């Protein structure tokens, strides 16, 4: 299956939805987008980052999912574009968040034209993609953003190996003690600066969510 079919099936089958919420929730982007121990500090740190700009920044949310987090960031941005590969979730978001003035778009970030902005946000998305798809994504955002904010789920292990390849799908590299690190092989993304703004842990899952701001070397 291509990426669109894969992620549409994930949402259709509610693979990322906890069992106790499967009846209640129509679309759910996983606990990393909902548990407060993962969302509260993240939102606070991003708002702080946005405030360092002389004017509200233009933001592109790549893989916006159910928009639970994006909805908390919207008022601190100028233009806000939120994209996801799943048609159904974008259609739902357009109706649910009509009052937020968000430009929701259906996009495959690995091959479709990506709109530019000051900041690109990609939260717990790349961890589900193969290395080939991640490379395609990086080529696709060339000269699109000054900064990207990336969040990945990492295991707590002394045997960590970056960027072990997987098949695109619902799972991540956690089970093989790996995670996505864009600045090392095979991606070797060149940056001016990398700043870790939060590491969020929870007793409810293993590992932690790491969020970094990458200032890109190839500014638009």
DSSP letter for each residue of 178-213: EE--TTSTTT---EEEEEEEEEEE-TTSSSEEEEEE
Whole-number mean pLDDT of the chain? Answer: 96
Instruction: Parse the chain into domains and list their residue ranges.
Output: 3-216
Out of 3.40.250.10, 3.40.50.450, 3.40.50.300, 3.40.50.150, which CATH number does the structure's domain 3-216 have? 3.40.50.150
Tell me the pLDDT tens digit for each residue of 76-134.
999 999 999 999 999 999 999 999 999 999 999 999 999 999 999 999 999 999 999 99
Q: Above pLDDT 70, what percent of the chain? A: 99
Tell me the pLDDT tens digit for each residue of 150-184.
999 999 999 999 999 999 999 999 989 999 999 99
In the predicted model, what is the mean pLDDT of residues 67-76? 98
Global pTM reads 0.95
pLDDT band at 220 (very low <50, low <70, confident <90, very high): very low
Strand order in the sheet with 119-123: 103-106, 80-84, 59-62, 119-123, 147-154, 208-216, 191-201
């Amino acid at each position: 299956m291509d990426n669109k079919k894969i992620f549409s099936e994930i949402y259709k089958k509610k693979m990322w939805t906890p069992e106790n919420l499967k009846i209640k929730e129509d679309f759910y982007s996983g606990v990393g987008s909902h548990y407060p121990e993962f969302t509260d500090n993240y939102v606070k740190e991003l708002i702080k980052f946005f405030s360092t700009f002389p004017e509200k920044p233009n933001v592109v949310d790549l893989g916006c999912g159910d928009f639970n987090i994006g909805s908390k960031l919207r008022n601190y941005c100028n233009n806000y574009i939120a994209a996801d590969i799943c048609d159904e979730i974008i259609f739902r978001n357009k109706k649910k968040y009509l009052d937020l003035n968000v430009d929701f778009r259906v996009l495959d970030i690995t091959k479709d034209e990506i709109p530019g902005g000051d900041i690109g946000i990609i939260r717990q998305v790349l961890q589900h993609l193969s290395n080939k798809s991640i490379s395609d994504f990086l080529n696709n955002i060339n000269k699109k953003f000054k900064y990207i904010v990336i969040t990945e789920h990492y295991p707590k292990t002394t045997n960590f190996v970056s960027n072990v390849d997987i098949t695109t799908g619902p799972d991540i590299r956690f089970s093989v003690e790996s995670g996505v690190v864009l600045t090392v092989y095979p991606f070797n993304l060149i940056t001016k600066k990398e700043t870790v703004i939060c590491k969020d842990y929870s007793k409810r899952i293993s590992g932690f969510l790491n969020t970094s701001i990458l200032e890109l070397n190839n500014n638009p």
